[in-house]
Structure 1
Amino acid sequence: MGRAKNPTLTSPRTGSSPVIRSLFAALALVTAAIAPAAAQDAATLRIGYQRSSTLIALLREDRTLETALKPLNVEVSWHEFTSGLPIMEALNVGRIDVSADVADTVPVFAQGANAKITYFAQEAASPTAQAILVPGDSPLKSVADLKGRKVAVTKGAGSHYLLLAALKAESLPFKSITPAYLTPADGRSALAGGSVDAWVAWDPFLSAAEVQAGARVLKDGTGLSGYKRYYLASDDYAAKRADVLALLFGKLKETGAWVKAHPDAAAERLAALWKIDAPVVLKANARRSYQVEPVTRDGLAEQQTIADAFRAEGLLPRAVDAAALPVWAPPTR
């Protein structure tokens, strides 16, 4: 397993700032609802996911992961969360073992809070899967036109970093806009109701707003944000169950390839699971790579850029070395 043995590559597990502490304190009620780690059977793989976790959603539906794990005498339990940060906190305190995909910014904030997590897989960059949206009839034509405007964004999400990067590319400070920190559902409502001038969204919310409400992309992540999706494990689980991670990695890779090779069938299955129109899912899936691959330290360069950007805005308690988190690697054949 590719864990770093050099202690200088291990991020310090010290205290965190009030900003990060308050984020994780708000998650306590969520993680308390999960079965205590000490009472959990060691032969059960506990997976944390969000409703929109595409590849995990498909594996959960067809139960192929359970079948594949039977020879290892490992069962699976599934734990749904509303967003990525609660998943990271659950990993950190040992309530779950692995996470479904989370946005690139999520591990950065978790690392800022000294979470004991290990990268074990990533989806290759999907820069067009998040974008700054405006109403179809908006007079705004470029990011520069956002100056002095009110923009809805989900705080700490990948879309938040996209907004930072887009403004920086136009030599505009973040304070040149008025942020409205909203959930995706509230952001879409605010855009439709005219209470904000723009909204930064990711798929499938992005595609839904385009298809169903006629929203227009002002700027996507091309050239600004790669928008990789990461899968993580708790440090303890990564150290003890390389065999399970290797199997899960293979199933994720296989499922991602199936989605891209069978777009219509994948859209139909996911539409039924998510209660979203199939054309919306089809459009969203076309923007995602779903190319599951190993994480490398060299490949974490953009994670460092993200960390530095949020640190500059005062949202991270300390400087973060993004390459210092442990990285698990699948066995080579």
Structure 2
Amino acid sequence: MLRRQFHHLLTASVAASSFLSPVLTHAQSRVLLRAGDQKGGLQALLDAAGELKNLPYDIKWSEFPAAAPLAEALNANAVDFGPIGDAPLLFTLAAGSRVKAFAVSRSDAYGTAVLVAPNSPLKTAADLKGKSIATNRGSIGHFVTLKALESAGLKAEDVQLRFIPPADAKLALTQGSVDAWATWEPYTALAETSGHARVLVNGRGLWTGLSYLAATDAALAEKATVLQDFKERVERAQVWSYKNAKPFGQSLARIIGIPADAAQLQFERRATRWQDIDAQVIADQQRTADFYLAAGLIKQRLDVRATFDTRFNTGKA
């Protein structure tokens, strides 16, 4: 009976106060949530919106420069969950990681882009043939690169891919040791507003804009009520951020340590909205997985339905 009641609470769209009993209200057994984050991500959003105040559990934050090291931390059970794009999530799942997506957001894909130096002679995706492109292996930047090449009738073999992290990739582009850099926000906005790069190919029409909160199977089993509360705080904070765009942009710049114009640009351009994991999300994710299979980045077809935990849906999608 208790199991049936727990399942009902977990799937129903109810207030957090009723959902979270008894785990979050028992002061003598506070849960520790080990949260992974990426630059410009969750902690800054929640802090600015006041959603980190009076938490009924503890959070230990770990920040990562990109999805790949965050995925490694999830696989090693060093963190309970973290934000990750659709492509890198597939990459780590195909490698055998025991994680699932339990929340999803969709954003404008423009800022996931292939960048070039401001004075670069490259004008279109077709011009990338024979050129060198820096990105993270398995990242959404890598994915958009492959889709951009496909749109121009090119293959991965037609370019030189250099798999290096964002800071090194930016340096390589500014120093001229690579011809292009495929990255995501806030790195795109930083490069644009600093005058170090311009967008050659943006992600619109190439990438779904899907990103997830993904958690280990262990965390989903042991800390479900806490993860549900955290998800609801993120959703409220996102709504708050767009109602308070200017002050949030200023706060975001201060918290993550980037110039205000870059913070404002990447935040407003993303237009992030959280939603339920629905049939469209699953279909879009399956297409991305099938594309990675065709590109040879994963070796076997992945049925993505098994990689989602839909218990956290609100039913309001």
Are the equivalent residues in 2 in contact too, given 1:246–1:331 (CA < 8 A)?
A: no
Map 1:2-151 to 2 at 5 A: 43-53=31-41, 55-60=42-47, 64-65=51-52, 67=54, 69-70=55-56, 74-99=57-82, 101-151=83-133
- The answer as to 2:203 corresponding to 1:221 is yes
How far off is 1:144 after superposition?
Answer: 0.8
Match of 1:330 in 2: 313
Q: 1:276 pairs with 249, 252, 258, which one?
A: 258
Alignment gaps of 5+ in structure 1? 3-40
CA RMSD of aligned residues (A): 2.3
Q: Secondary structure at the match of 1:128?
A: coil
Segments of 5+ residues of structure 2 without an aligned counterpart are 1-6, 9-28
Q: Distance in 1 between matches of 2:49 and 2:244?
A: 16
| Matched letter for residue 37 of structure 2 | Y
Partner SS for 2:286: helix
Q: Quote the offset at 1:92 in angstroms.
A: 3.8
TM norm structure 2: 0.83
SS at 2:297 equivalent: coil
- Identity fraction in percent: 31
- Give me the TM-score of the superposition, normalised by structure 1: 0.79
218 and 121 in structure 1: CA distance in 2 versus 1, 3 angstrom threshold: same
Q: Which residue of 1 aligns with 2:167?
A: 185
2:223 corresponds to 1:235: no
C-alpha change, 1:42 and 1:307, in structure 2 (3 Å) is: farther
Partner AA of 2:33 in structure 1 = L
Alignment deviations for residues 125-146 of structure 1 (CA, whole Å, 9 cap, x no partner): 3211211112222221111111
Deviation string 1:35-85 (CA, Å, 9 cap, x unpaired) is xxxxxx7722221112331x3323256763351x42xxx322222334323
The residue that corresponds to 2:154 in the other structure is 172
Q: In the TM superposition, what is the alpha-carbon distance from 1:283 to its structure 2 partner?
A: 0.8
Alignment CA distance shift 1:188-1:245 (3 Å)? same
Q: Secondary structure at the match of 2:150?
A: helix
Q: Give SS of 1:276's match.
A: coil
CA distance in 1, matches of 2:247, 2:148: 35
Please name the residue that 2:176 is paired with.
Answer: 194
Q: 1:322 to 1:106 in 2, by over 3 A?
A: same
Quote the offset at 1:168 in angstroms.
0.7
- The 1:56/1:177 distance shift into structure 2, 3 A limit, reads same
SS in 2 for 1:77: strand
